[in-house]
Structure 1
Amino acid sequence: MKISHEKIDGINAIIKVDLTPEDYNPQVDKAIKEQAKKAKLPGFRSGQVPVGHIRRSFGKSILFDFVNKLVNDSITTYIGEQKLEVLGQPLPKEEDNANYNWDYKDNFNFTYEIGLAPEFTIPFTAESEFTEYDIKADDETLASRIKNLRRSYGKMTNPEVSAEGDVLFAALTQEGPEGPVEKTASIRTDIIEDAKIKKSLVGLKQDDTVKIDLKKAFKEEDIIRILGIAPEEVAALDPKFTLTVKNVNRLEESELNQEFFDKLFAANEVTTEEQFTEKVKEEVENLFKQNSAQKLRNEMYTYGMDAVNVTFPEAFLKRWLKATNPNIADEELNEGFADFISNLKWTIIENRVVTENKLEVKYEEVIELAKERIYAQIKMYNINDEPTDEQLAQYAVQLLQDREQANRLFEEAKALKVYEFLKGVVKINTQEINYNEFEKLA
């Protein structure tokens, strides 16, 4: 067997595979004999089917399957040996229409097209400079978090008169072409954008009425939720309604007492308002570390994408995408192709960092990442639930049995490893900043 490749340009190449009968016949003969031993055909005893009969009846099929497997395996091995960074998978050359007899005497000549990753230099060096923010909880952010916690563990009341922040259960009516139209809805006064409308909903009692313009009061997604209409109906909607109060709902904030503290933390871990505030601040600033890390990752991504100016074998990649997704329409393919190339570009940058620096993602690291994700999900739904490390490990192993989830977590672990490695390469300047100022940078 002879296999070779030839570059068309820096990003396109062809692989040629030449087979002679000596390359395939010994293994094909072996496969036919094994088939004869296993075959169960009418008129023959089990395992006693003559080899000649199998050759006449199924030989061409066996030969075809073996040659295709031999060619595919040989190309895969060759690509690895030659260290070719291939994009997609090799595709048979479209104009390669040779006709073969498949009679165990053919000299096979196959030609495959391949797309190659472009050459470039990894742009991250000791001269590359980035800022990592140490985000502090300013008074406004801290107060907002404490308020949300107190409301989460508060109790619902039904006061007689509405105040700012209440939820009004109300009827919304307007005249339609066929008479009055009425819908009941819960109106959250805390999300109303127009100050005048917000003020008009304060001081209302049951059965009080007020005029309201929904498009002035709410964002489009809120109008869709309140009225239960489709997004395309919003544009033509007459926004002026009469609001009639049916009930006033108020979520009273929990008192800052020991019962409340013990709901959030271990019993008696927090006993004073000062300790509570400090604990919340610590929790918030730990969450901010994730915001800071995400911003740094985003800036590294943007820097790398801008610095690496390369061309991809787009014609080949489109043919490959069509070959692997035969039902995809050309319009759909073209619409999503720019995003595909963008994702591919960053993947190649990441892979180049991994390869050139011999980075390795270990199974134990993927397990630990899975445990972190599972723990975060558990705490999201039950802040007091504290799973053991053994339980998390069991959940992680179960999760990784799903191939799709395993691949996703492996790619995430690889991305984190590349990020941590690059942090050690580039220059990082640390800057302290309040959260409200940090938000303006996004």
Structure 2
Amino acid sequence: MNVTLEKTSEVSAKLNVSIEENDYKDKVVKELKEIGKKHAIPGFRQGHVPFGELNRRFGKQVTSDVINNEVYDAVIGYIRDNKLAVLGEPIPVEVKELDLKNEKDFSFSYELALVPEINVTLDKDVHLPYYNIEVSEDMINEQDKNFRERFGAQVPGEEVEANSLVKGSIMELDEAGNVKTSDDAIQMINGIVAPMYFKDKAEADKFIGKKVNDKVVFNPWKTCEGNAAELSSMLGVDKSKAADIKGDFELSISEIIVLRPAELGQELYDNVLGKDKATTEEEYRNALKDMIARELSRNSEMLFRVDTEKAMMEKYGDMELPVEILKKWLIRRNDELNDANIDEEYAKMEQGLKWQLIKERIGEICQIKIEEQDLIGHAKMIASMQFAQYGMTNMDDDTLTDYAKRILADKNYRPRIVEEVGDIKLFAAVKEAVTINAENVTLDKFKEIATKQ
């Protein structure tokens, strides 16, 4: 078998493959004999089918399959052995049925979309902006307030406050404003509502200042904008009927539960930060500041990535691509693409493809490598954040590691984590290689900058 490369442009090539009978004959014989051994053929004992009969029945298909497999393996082997950087897959120049009756030797050609050469420069002469968001006292106070409420206590209250839960019987009213007594009347004896979560502020305000034994007329439908699930839970009715209930109800208050925020002290510090991570208010507030800074740094990092992509694309994004070959490849691998819509669809993905190629080149320059421990560390961070959403902020390392390994075992989730870790390493390497023009900005200023970008 002979394989030769013919460059058709700087970013495209053609692989020509010539195959002779001696290149595939023995494998065809072997495949036919295997069929005779493994398959029962009417009129013959298994394993005793004459070769001529096997060839008559299966020879054409087996020969065609063997030739195609041998040729494709030769193409892939040539690409691998010669370290050709190829986009997508080799595209057959012509697809036709082999004339095995009259020919024994065959020639095939494949189009290759080659990765363009991208001469990316990363050194201190390259300047990129980075915006650090300042943590204000108001932010710390707000975070403290949230944690105090989260770890506060629910206690009986004398009157309804903004964050109170209200318990009591909820009775449907008729058009005249009287409690309905008919058999179909909706009555929730042990009802509970949370005005703080009402979508309609006017409905929530009806409860503020009310006391036990007071009665409040309100409209459940307005409190949740007709959400069937919420109405079903509030009124104890079937979800399929809930959204149609738009009338007023009367709630007779039997109990008021108010939230009393946690007091500053060791119990709060331990609940928020972990055992003995802070022992004074100053240490606690400094820890909150660091916590907020870490959260805000994600926004800084996201904008840095946007700025980096923009700068790199402006400098290197005019690369030549093997457009026509790529379009053919995309059509072959996606049933929804065809000659009529490929131009429009390719235009949507071209910038993304160029950026991906630039990223890969940066990765090569910076020698980015992703180890399993990198993936576990990132998955542990994800696990920690998920636990924190449910108030579990002090999970031990063994639990986080076990959860992280289960995340990575998900074949659908793992590639996403690999990509995230790769991006983290890549942009960290870019920061080290170039000159970062860092600037401290307020959150409002950062939003203004980010909006422009």
1:61 Cα deviation from its structure 2 partner:
2.0
TM-score, structure 1 as length reference: 0.75
Task: Tell me which residue corresponds to 1:233.
Answer: none
Q: What one-letter code is carried by the residue in structure 2 that aligns with 1:428?
A: I
Deviations 1:206-245 (A, max 9, x none): 545699xx8xxx9xxx85759989xxxxxxxxxxx98987
Equivalent residue for 1:253, pick from 251, 261, 275: 261
Task: Tell me which residue corresponds to 2:356.
Answer: 347
How do 1:300-311 and structure 2 match up within 5 A?
300-307=308-315, 308-311=317-320
Task: Tell me which residue corresponds to 1:57.
Answer: 57
- Whether the 8 Å contact between 2:366 and 2:426 is mirrored in structure 1 is no
Asked if 1:284 corresponds to 2:297, the answer is no
1:270 Cα deviation from its structure 2 partner:
3.5
Distance 1:339 1:203, change over 3 A: farther
SS in structure 2 at match of 1:137: coil
Asked if 1:295 corresponds to 2:303, the answer is yes
Identity of aligned residues (%): 26
- Whether the 8 Å contact between 1:37 and 1:47 is mirrored in structure 2 is yes
Deviations 1:270-306 (A, max 9, x none): 4433332222223222333333333322221222223
Task: Tell me which residue corresponds to 2:19.
Answer: 19
1:104 Cα deviation from its structure 2 partner:
9.0
1:427 Cα deviation from its structure 2 partner:
0.5
- Whether the 8 Å contact between 1:124 and 1:304 is mirrored in structure 2 is no
Task: Tell me which residue corresponds to 2:111.
Answer: 113
Distance 1:123 1:343 in 2: 20
More off after superposition, 422-431 vs 31-40:
31-40
- Whether the 8 Å contact between 2:195 and 2:204 is mirrored in structure 1 is no
SS in structure 1 at match of 2:362: helix
- Whether the 8 Å contact between 1:141 and 1:436 is mirrored in structure 2 is no
SS in structure 1 at match of 2:440: strand
Equivalent residue for 2:135, pick from 129, 137, 155: 137
Distance 1:272 1:418, change over 3 A: closer
Distance 1:358 1:48, change over 3 A: farther
1:147 Cα deviation from its structure 2 partner:
1.0
Asked if 1:441 corresponds to 2:449, the answer is yes
RMSD: 4.4
1:376 Cα deviation from its structure 2 partner:
3.5
Q: What one-letter code is carried by the residue in structure 2 that aligns with 1:149?
A: F
Gaps of 5+ in 1: 176-181, 230-240
Q: What one-letter code is carried by the residue in structure 2 that aligns with 1:374?
A: A
Asked if 1:128 corresponds to 2:96, the answer is no
Distance 1:384 1:366 in 2: 21
TM-score, structure 2 as length reference: 0.74
Q: What one-letter code is carried by the residue in structure 1 that aligns with 2:271?
A: K
How do 1:19-168 and structure 2 match up within 5 A?
19-93=19-93, 96=94, 98-103=96-101, 105-122=103-120, 124-156=122-154, 161-163=159-161
Equivalent residue for 2:436, pick from 404, 411, 428: 428
Q: What one-letter code is carried by the residue in structure 2 that aligns with 1:57?
A: R
SS in structure 2 at match of 1:112: strand
1:269 Cα deviation from its structure 2 partner:
4.4
SS in structure 1 at match of 2:369: coil
- Whether the 8 Å contact between 2:195 and 2:207 is mirrored in structure 1 is no
Deviations 1:372-399 (A, max 9, x none): 33343334432132232xx555544444
Q: What one-letter code is carried by the residue in structure 1 that aligns with 2:382?
A: R
Deviations 1:328-373 (A, max 9, x none): 6889877764553333222211112233454433344334333433
Deviations 1:146-204 (A, max 9, x none): 1111111223467565555667899999x9xxxxxx9x99676589899x999898656
Distance 2:413 2:358 in 1: 23
Asked if 1:263 corresponds to 2:274, the answer is no
- Whether the 8 Å contact between 1:19 and 1:108 is mirrored in structure 2 is yes
Task: Tell me which residue corresponds to 2:283.
Answer: 275
1:62 Cα deviation from its structure 2 partner:
1.8
Q: What one-letter code is carried by the residue in structure 2 that aligns with 1:14?
A: K
Distance 2:172 2:346 in 1: 46
Distance 2:137 2:83 in 1: 56
Distance 1:360 1:255, change over 3 A: closer
Distance 2:405 2:329 in 1: 34
Q: What one-letter code is carried by the residue in structure 2 that aligns with 1:264?
A: V
- Whether the 8 Å contact between 2:20 and 2:105 is mirrored in structure 1 is yes
More off after superposition, 147-156 vs 397-406:
397-406
Q: What one-letter code is carried by the residue in structure 2 that aligns with 1:86?
A: V
Task: Tell me which residue corresponds to 1:403.
Answer: 411
- Whether the 8 Å contact between 1:187 and 1:226 is mirrored in structure 2 is no
1:426 Cα deviation from its structure 2 partner:
0.8
Asked if 1:387 corresponds to 2:397, the answer is yes
Distance 1:281 1:271, change over 3 A: same
Q: What one-letter code is carried by the residue in structure 2 that aligns with 1:102?
A: L
Gaps of 5+ in 2: 176-185, 232-246
Equivalent residue for 1:368, pick from 364, 377, 380: 377
Q: What one-letter code is carried by the residue in structure 1 that aligns with 2:140?
A: L
